[in-house]
Amino acid sequence: MRQDGDVTDRDAIPLALASMRKQYRAEGLSEPELAATPFEQFARWFKQAATDGGLFEPNAMVVSTADAEGRPSSRTVLLKHFDERGFVFYTNYGSRKGRELDANPYVSLLFPWHPMARQVIVRGTARRTGRDETAAYFRTRPHGSQLGAWASAQSSVVGSRDELDAAYAGLAARYPEGEQVPVPPHWGGFRVVPRTVEFWQGRENRLHDRLCYTAAEDGGGWRVERLSP
Ligand SMILES: Cc1cc2nc3c(=O)[nH]c(=O)nc-3n(C[C@H](O)[C@H](O)[C@H](O)COP(=O)(O)O)c2cc1C
């Protein structure tokens, strides 16, 4: 039996972590090549991430929210749409993130594109998408995902896996494949309107490129600044 003080491979993990580092050799990101808006720049990088970025889910992003007292929480969600109006994801409005965003709309989105030595960080405010937009997206979801949105009171404690499966089975019996599933009133989109968008490109010797767009106060254009790595 293992005793305190025994040295195992598992104990060695923290030491290995300290020496784990990659040397980034990627091409840099310079001011002249940046697009005029962060949306165009995001579109360029997203296309690269989605085609040859070596990423399993390039649209997976870490959404960080904070409650009314400023206590943060994070989770991964999928980006489902972006354009000049902002970045959209869908979730349960009664979930922790949903409740936090209703109380405090300030939010951060982080795209961890590690295989490309890139990350994009969007900071801004979130507001609910309109019901028509939500319904249009809901209709594109597979039947099973539509039922899942009804079956789960996201973020609340569930008694058991069986309880969850039973809730799903009940819904599947009520709405068989081919039958239209109504859009749950507690479910929908958030659109994040950016105030800043930072594009981070890993470079050699930790001298990374960080170019950050900030929206002008009057809504007229973007300022770009280089941040120290
Ligand atoms: C790759 C990935 C994608 C996810 N996409 C979503 C999503 O689009 N919407 C969502 O509500 N939860 C998504 N989740 C689940 C969330 O991470 C989280 O568990 C859930 O939204 C509850 O978060 P909350 O309790 O902090 O509100 C995803 C998780 C992973 C790992």
The larger pLDDT score, comparing residue 217 to residue 147, is at 147
Specify the residue with its C-alpha closest to ligand 1, atom 10.
91
Residue 62 in contact with ligand 1 by CB distance below 6 A: no
Q: Which of 206, 210, 223, 226 is catalytic?
A: 206
pLDDT per position as a tens digit, 100-149: 999 999 999 999 999 999 999 999 999 999 999 999 999 999 999 999 99
Tell me, what amino acid is at 126?
Answer: A
What is the band of 228 on the pLDDT scale with cuts at 50, 70, 90? very high
As a whole number of angstroms, the distance between CA 97 and CA 175 comes to 28
Rounded mean pLDDT, 48-53: 94
DSSP 162: H
* Closest atom, ligand 1, to C-alpha of 96: 27
Our answer on whether the CB atom of 57 is closer than 6 Å to any ligand 1 atom is yes
Question: For this structure, is 123 an active site residue?
Answer: no
pLDDT classification of 18: cutoffs 50, 70, 90: confident
Q: Rounded to whole angstroms, how far apart are CA atoms 149 and 168?
A: 10
Residues 170-207: pLDDT tens digits?
999 999 999 999 999 999 999 999 999 999 999 999 99
Please state whether 216 falls in left (phi above 0), alpha (psi between -120 and 50) or beta.
beta
- Closest residue by Cα to atom 29, ligand 1, is 76
